[in-house]
Structure 1
């Protein structure tokens, strides 16, 4: 009854099904791992943001130091004076509404003399001329104490942002201490501070970057379950198709074997 399963068409169908089963299982685990990574990231950010702030230079103690992953987003403080002569902006960054503008980054010379810290002071809108330096609220003068989030240097590989040359003066695509140290000769500690508060508070400042969302776990677990449900449906689908084919063939065979009805004489 099921000898048709040995035909070329059905052998190809079953081969495709056998290949799809491990592929969809693996795709499910891929989405599961993405879910686990998202949960771990959210937990890391949550712990970092609720921890008591520590001085920036206790976590980044040498120029060019890469920020460890488990310290990213850690609440930090820094005291010093802004070096406005080496301020720059980072192009094509968005605010919370998705409007494209610039991040304003100003180095802070630490009062203890251990180096300079890049400070992302926040977002400003683009001006009318993309080749000109945008209107930026002035950094506070005198000594200030900053509170913010510790962030790792941006890279093209990590951010997906192409770092191309030939940009207007004091405009960059990435926040990179290595790039700024080479450009200015300053002794910069690795990573940068993403500003959340300034004391004393300035009269005007760029729009502060909001706290990252660390409650959304994304759709990856749902996608994993969908892939595994699809895995279970593959053999069921092949069985349903085979049963239907068997019934159709049996019906055709029965119709062929039935005696023809006599034709009435005229």
Structure 2
């Protein structure tokens, strides 16, 4: 009764089912790895934000320094004077509400110890009616200031997915990148940048503050992993149900055919 499994239709169906099982298992592990990466990122951010602040230039060793992953989001401080002549804005950035596109305001801070400058992302401003024009930006504090914020790695196209295109209006850029600014300004800029959280003294007006990174949401990846593994377990069950249903239907059909083939008894006069 199960000889139908030797047909091309059932051979292809079985092959597809056998291929689906390892595919679902692999997709489940892919989601598991995404979950583990998300948890590790959240732990890193949480630990970094709770760590005692350290001097920016004690972590960034100089121009061209690549901020390692384990130092990203570390709370850092820097003391110096803002170099407003080299202030820039970063295009197409989203406000804290997630719905408005504008600019990040990046102002170099000339360190008091003379080691160079630190790029400080002071926050977000609206682009105004014309995104090709330099936007109205609250002035950076004059004189010596001490800023505290989060250490960030230089943005690149590879790390951010943002294309770094040229031909932009004066003092407008697509990425926050210390090497790019060092070349543009001819100054010594320490690698990485500082995402401002507070400043002493506090300015009378400032760009919209950047919120702390979200580090409590682990996302749906573990649930997705479990779903893929359940699919892998259900594939053979579904295949078995289909085979038994086919066999049952064939038995029923054979019984009907046998009944129809039986001779009909003639009535006795």
Give the alignment of 1:54-73 within 5 angstroms.
54-73=54-73
Give the alignment of 1:1-266 within 5 angstroms.
1-98=1-98, 99-258=100-259, 259=262
For the residue of structure 1 that corresponds to 2:28, the secondary structure is helix
* Structure 2: stretches of 5+ with no match in the other structure: none
How many residues align structurally? 264
- Structure 2 distance, partners of 1:117, 1:260, is 100
CA offset digits 1:187-209 (Å, max 9, x no partner):
00000000000001110000110
> Kindly tell me: are residues 142 and 253 of structure 1, through their superposed partners in 2, closer, same or farther at Cα, counting changes over 3 Å?
same
> Kindly tell me: are residues 198 and 246 of structure 1, through their superposed partners in 2, closer, same or farther at Cα, counting changes over 3 Å?
same
TM-score (norm 1): 0.97
> Kindly tell me: are residues 54 and 260 of structure 1, through their superposed partners in 2, closer, same or farther at Cα, counting changes over 3 Å?
farther
Moved over 4 A (4+): 260-264
- Structure 2 distance, partners of 1:234, 1:16, is 10
- Structure 1 distance, partners of 2:82, 2:142, is 7
- Structure 1 distance, partners of 2:170, 2:187, is 18
- Structure 2 distance, partners of 1:262, 1:190, is 101
- Structure 1 distance, partners of 2:33, 2:211, is 27
- Structure 1 distance, partners of 2:231, 2:89, is 48
For the residue of structure 1 that corresponds to 2:232, the secondary structure is helix
> Kindly tell me: are residues 7 and 174 of structure 1, through their superposed partners in 2, closer, same or farther at Cα, counting changes over 3 Å?
same
Shift of 1:20: 0.9
CA offset digits 1:101-129 (Å, max 9, x no partner):
10000000000001100000000011111
CA offset digits 1:5-35 (Å, max 9, x no partner):
1111001001011111111100000000000
- Structure 2 distance, partners of 1:190, 1:104, is 18
Shift of 1:161: 0.5
Shift of 1:263: 9.4
Shift of 1:136: 0.3
CA offset digits 1:202-253 (Å, max 9, x no partner):
1000011000010000000000000000000100000000000000000000
- Structure 2 distance, partners of 1:145, 1:5, is 77
For the residue of structure 1 that corresponds to 2:219, the secondary structure is coil
Shift of 1:261: 5.5
Instruction: Calculate the aligned-residue CA RMSD, in Å.
Output: 1.1
